[in-house]
Amino acid sequence: MNQVEVQSRDGLWVLLKLEHLKAQRLGVGLDEEQTEYTSTSVGGCRLTVRADDKMDSSRLISLFRAEIDRTRGAVPAAMRPFYVYGVVVFEWQDRKQSDDDSLLGSLKELVMKTDLKRSVVAPQ
Instruction: Tell me the domain boundaries of the chain.
Output: 2-24+43-112
pLDDT tens, residue by residue, 70-116? 988 889 999 877 666 789 999 999 877 778 899 999 999 999 999 99
Q: Is 84 exposed, middle or buried (0-12, 13-18, 19+ CB in 10 A)?
A: exposed
The pTM assigned to this predicted structure is 0.78
Architecture in CATH of 2-24+43-112 = 2-Layer Sandwich (3.30)
